[in-house]
Every structure is written in C-alpha cells, then in structure tokens.
Chains A and B, each alone.
Chain A
C-alpha cells in the first residue's frame, strides 16, 4: 500500500480508530496485523523474507545478551549481519554483480555460466534490513536490551508508517514507545494530521507534478536544448526532495497521530551551505546510520588524513550502492564522497580567499554557498535519475555544451510546476528562518487555521497528480 493511494485513506483512519479503542495490551497485535496487511499489498509472499530476518535477529538479540564471551558475541553478530546482508545480496545485488561478471568474462572471451535470478526486489528491503541491523548492533554494544517479546520486536521492524521508506529508526527510540500506553491526545492528532497534509502536498502537488516534466525531458534528452535539461535537472532536485521528504512527513505524521514520535529525516537540505551540511539535513536517519555503524567503526575522525578521506569515500560509495544496484548510484555516491573530500582539502584556502574578497559571511556569501551546493547536488542527481551512465553523461553533455531550444510542454502544467515550487519555497523559507508572520496551519486563530487546512486540501484535490504511483525511494 502506498500513502498516496485511496486505500491508505481508508486504512489509516480505521487502524487509528481501532488503535485507540483496543486495550493497550493488544495494541501491538493490532499494529502488527495492520503492518502485515500494509506490506502484503505489494507482494504478499515477500512477507516471509521479513519474518526470516525478524526471527534471526530476534534470536540473535537474546543470545547476544546472554553470552558473555566476546568472541561468541562477535560470531553471533556476524551471523546476524550476514543473514541480513545475505538477503540484500540475493534480492538486490545478485543480478547486478552477475551482469558485471558477465561483462568482464565476455571481455576476457568467456561466457558467464551463472544464471540470472527472475525475482522482484521486495519493497523497502534496504530500509527494514538496516533498521533490523541497527538492533543487533546496539544489543551487541550493550546500548539496548534484547527484546523478549517477539511480537513487539516484529513490530519494531514492521511498524507500517516507516516500514518501506523509513525513517530508519533506532531501537532505543522506537521499542520503548510500543510499551508506553498512548492515550488519545488532540494535540498529537492535530499535529500529526497537519504533518500528513504537508506530506501529501509535497508528494502529489509538487513531486508528482514536476515528475511529468522531468520524465518527458529525461526520457528524450537528445531532443532537448541545454536550458530545458538544466531546468529538468533542477526540477528533479525538487521532485526527489518532495517525494522522499513528503513520504517522511506522512510517516512521521501518521505515527504521531497514534502518539509515536519518529525521528526527523529532513531539515530543509537545499538551504545547506556546504555538502557536509547537506548530509546533516538530507535523509538524516540513513546518514547517521552510516556514521554510527560504518564511519565511526572505521576510525571516524581519529585517523590520518589519508585514511579519513579513504573512509569517507568508501562510506559514500556504499551509500550509493545502498540506494540501488546500478553504476549510476555508485557514481552518485562517489561524487558526494569526492565533493566532501574536496571541501575538506580546500577548506583553508576557501576561507582565506573569501575573507580577502570580503565574502566571509553575510547574506551574499550565504547565497553563493547555498547556490553552489545546490549546483553540486543537482549535478549528482543527474546520475541518480539516469537509467544508465550513458544517459547521465548524455544529460551532462546537454547541460554543459550549449544547445538552443526551450521546452515548456502544456503551458498550464508548467504554470502549476512554478506555482508548486513557489509555494514550497515560501513554506521552507518560513521554516528555515523562523518567520512567524503569515502563519497558516499554526495560526492562533482557529478560523484561519481551519481555512488553511481546507485550502491545502483543496489545493491537493485540484492541483495534485493522483496517478503518480509509487514513491521513488520504495525501490531502495
């Protein structure tokens, strides 16, 4: 089931109402059944994969706590991680590595005898696998007690608001919340619903609307001029942000309605003044996961500069691969690693040059930094969106080698695109700079608040795209 489907609009109030009606001791069961139903909408049989990893990690967690011998503990952790990564390897990466092996063997004059798997990627596999791995790692480190209640542990992995596209939660935050009794709280409900409304706006009014233009241009890029490709790339940058952060908003909002508080996943990333700041604002639950479980164990900042750069580059390459089994994602990750290393290497020089030019700080300097960060990120998004490296390079050629022509498409749709971006910009600027004039959804006057909710609902109904289909990040 996807959040922007009509089925979810029926599912959500029913589950929420039942949640408050059912006694606390049965709520975990209700949420688990609801989460199974939610997941089984995609491909029912794949729930067995989830149960496989749940059983392994649940058992591993209990034994990790029982065993005192460090070697045995390590072995248990490795077994659990291998099972999780093994599932990812089979379902997500096998065909990719096999295709590359075929290419290599062909180049050497051999044929690859290993057949390709005819399987579909289970939806949100990377998300719930990473969430499950964080549990066993935290139990191993002694930061989290092993969960004895199998149903609650299963719910930790399967909690439907964040099951298929995050935020990737930590056991310390989510597990205790299943045990706390949540009473109906009007504030939580209204804040949650507001958050969901904003998420729907981002998804159907902005992301899916922009995707029509992006798809038209990217699928036929040799026919388009440079200005069109630049605009489509910028539109994609906004599209992917609204698609993913919209999902997170709906996830956080729908959990909040029931009294659960999920971690924030986005903090207006396009206001970042550097790539490192971008990564502290974009997909926060994943970047902190990599920081806690990969980067720091590799040595973190307490290593030589050369090793630090190597570690950073490796982490971003893995992050790219996490997003998808395609070279385009690996290049996307590598590009971000490269940006970060360049940023660190040139830090002193840039600071000195900026202060010489009188651009050390201030509005203009911020504007330049934000613009340059958006430029770098947008270049990387071209690789992320492209279906192949060939297409990505073709698009980059279209950006940097001037070709005349500008495509608008259906004028009224283009106008919707611009209006949607303007509305988003207004909302984000207000959030970023804490501007409290023009309060709508949070106005103290109830009449204005209600008019704002209704206005937003009608904007979604009149301008949203309801055939936009799945969220981009589901495929990961």
Chain B
C-alpha cells in the first residue's frame, strides 16, 4: 500500500512537471513560429500578412482564388493611378475576406475595395467554415477573428489557447516561404499560365437551379463588409468575375444582388459577358489565365474609372447619388 502511494505520488509529480514543460514549450514554440510566420517572403500567408500588417495601398482586392488570379494589380495601378494590392486567397470565401479586411482597417483605410465574389458566395457551405482555421495565427489581432473562428466550431477558440495549434498544418509551408522566395505573385496578383483544354470542359453545370440554402453567417459577413466601407467612406465594387460556365442560377446570387442593391453598392456580373466566353482566356472553367486576367483587369479598370468618386473615398455613398448599375 505504501509502495502504491509512493508510486502514485511520483506519477502525479511527474505529470505536473510534464504539464508545466508542455505549457512552456508550447509558448516558446508559438513565439518562434509567430516570428517565422510573420516574416514569410512568399506564399499565400505572405499576401495575407501584407494585408493584415503592412497594407498601405489605395486599392485593395479581396476574394477567393478568382480574385487572386483575375486582378492584375499593376494594370489597376497604371489605369487608375492608385496603388493596388491583391489580397485574394485560394479556396477562401467571404468570411475570410471580411476577417482580413477588418484586420487591414486597424492600421490603414484604402480608398477603394474590390470584392470579387462567386455566385454561391452566400450559399451554406460547411467546408468554408472549416477552412477558417487558417485565421488562427491572427487571433490576437482582433476580436473579429475570434468571432469568425467560432463559426467553425465553438471549441476551436479553446483549442487555440495552445499556441502551436494555431500553426497546425503550416510548419513546412512557413519555413518554405520564409527561406525560399517562390511563385510569381506581383502585388498579390497570382496569374495562371496554362490554357484550358476545351475538349475536356463543358459549359454545362450539374448545379440544380435555386436549390442552395442561404448562410446567415455569410449574409452577416457581407453586411459587415459593406457597413465598414460605408463607415470608413471606402468606395466598394462588388464583381463576379468571368467564368466559362454559368452558375448564376442560385438563391445566393439573387440575395447578393438584392443586398448590393439595397446598400447602393456597385455590383457587376461578368459571368455571361460574351467577350469573356473565349476559352483561350481560361485556365479552367472557373479561372482566367494570365492573358484573360489582363484583359479582364483592363475591362474593370475602364468600368471603375467611369464610376470612381472624385476623391475616390468620399462621395460615393452620399444619399443623393444613385450608383450606376449595368445589369
């Protein structure tokens, strides 16, 4: 019995020591990884870090991979005479864009924001919430990030008290992009260089028309995004950039148009723009290639020029001014 008690005491002392060591190593590793994380020179997080910590451009482009691959920042800069940064990110949706927009606003207010959306931007998509874990490294920057991450799982915030968990699945990528400058991103714009194989692509979609359900979280995020623009007097353009197949028959699309309309936000859909139905401009049916992106950016620059408010940050939301609408 005495032996048993001694063993138990020894066990609990060791367990306690291990917990202390665990907390210490976790904190140290968290700081170590945070340094490398914030100093990446390439990759998707380098783009996001620029938006979150260093944004100083006049025009900010946000959205998914279609934003990242479709908006040539140099063309926007030359065309509008406003500096531009493309903060689009592969696989991410409106929740992510809203979150990093909030973080950017903490230190810089751009004059113009281009939000690229897809027709299903307001549809309920479970995987969109699952991907919000990529925001964990920014958790201490703003309470908004915590609110967003909670949408994935209410326990996610508890887990995020572990510093190392915040960099789950990122370690190799962080070191790769810290030590190696790879990719061809220019001011956040990441052109695709391949050409779509037309023989393997159909313009048909398997989408069941108007079968999607609307995500309340995404609607709230869009409203938050628009209200921040109003509050900070940022001119907002919401674009659906071209795609080879038409996927607009969705409730989300109707809701998106309705929200933009009621908030007097400039909204334009290029999905069915005949000019962009040329397969030569595509990398796949959802993404333009570099050539298509340059032509598309030229088009939106011309479009924006006509609608840019004189100070590019003030009058657009004035009560008397009716925004121009093209579709």
- A6 B159 Cβ-Cβ under 8 A: yes
Interface size class of B (residues with CB under 8 A): 20 to 34
Is A260 an interface residue, CB under 8 A from the partner? no
- B168 A466 Cβ-Cβ under 8 A: yes
Known A-B contacts A6-B155, A183-B4; A465 and B14 likewise in contact (beta carbons under 8 Å): no
- B22 A457 Cβ-Cβ under 8 A: yes
Known A-B contacts A183-B4, A186-B10, A453-B18; A458 and B25 likewise in contact (beta carbons under 8 Å): yes
Is B310 an interface residue, CB under 8 A from the partner? no
Is B167 an interface residue, CB under 8 A from the partner? yes
Is A293 an interface residue, CB under 8 A from the partner? no
Is A354 an interface residue, CB under 8 A from the partner? no
User: A183, A464, A466 — which one has the most chain B CB atoms within 10 A of its CB?
Assistant: A466
Q: Which of B26, B130, B158 contacts A6 (CB 8 A)?
A: B158
CB nearest neighbor in A for B172: A412
- B169 A465 Cβ-Cβ under 8 A: yes
Residues from 177 to 197 in A contacting B, C-beta threshold 8 Å: 183-187, 189-190
Is A463 an interface residue, CB under 8 A from the partner? yes
- B7 A454 Cβ-Cβ under 8 A: no
- B155 A454 Cβ-Cβ under 8 A: no
Q: Which of B7, B17, B159, B164 contacts A450 (CB 8 A)?
A: B17
- Taking CB atoms, residues of chain A closer than 8 Å to B8 are 184, 186
Q: How far is the CB of B285 from the nearest CB of chain A, in Å?
A: 14
Q: Is the interface of B mostly helix, strand, loop or mixed?
A: helix
Q: How far is the CB of A418 from the nearest CB of chain B, in Å?
A: 11
Interface size class of A (residues with CB under 8 A): 20 to 34
CB nearest neighbor in A for B21: A454
Q: A424–B229 Cα gap in the complex (Å)?
A: 51
Q: Is the interface of A mostly helix, strand, loop or mixed?
A: helix
Is A91 an interface residue, CB under 8 A from the partner? no
Residue-by-residue, is B21-40 near A (CB-CB < 8 Å gives 1, otherwise 0)? 11001100100000000000
Residues from 411 to 432 in A contacting B, C-beta threshold 8 Å: 412-413, 415-416
- B11 A458 Cβ-Cβ under 8 A: no
- Taking CB atoms, residues of chain B closer than 8 Å to A462 are 164, 167-169, 171
Residues from 107 to 126 in A contacting B, C-beta threshold 8 Å: none
Q: A465–B167 Cα gap in the complex (Å)?
A: 12
Q: Which of A186, A457, A458 contacts B7 (CB 8 A)?
A: A186
Known A-B contacts A7-B155, A184-B8, A186-B8; A463 and B169 likewise in contact (beta carbons under 8 Å): yes
- Taking CB atoms, residues of chain B closer than 8 Å to A461 are 162, 164-165, 168
Q: A461–B30 Cα gap in the complex (Å)?
A: 12
Known A-B contacts A183-B4, A450-B14; A458 and B29 likewise in contact (beta carbons under 8 Å): yes
Is B223 an interface residue, CB under 8 A from the partner? no
- B158 A454 Cβ-Cβ under 8 A: no
What are 20 residue pairs bridging A and B, where the CB atoms are less than 8 Å apart in the complex? A6-B158, A184-B8, A185-B7, A186-B7, A186-B10, A187-B7, A413-B169, A416-B172, A450-B14, A450-B17, A450-B21, A454-B18, A454-B21, A458-B164, A461-B162, A461-B165, A462-B164, A462-B167, A462-B168, A466-B159
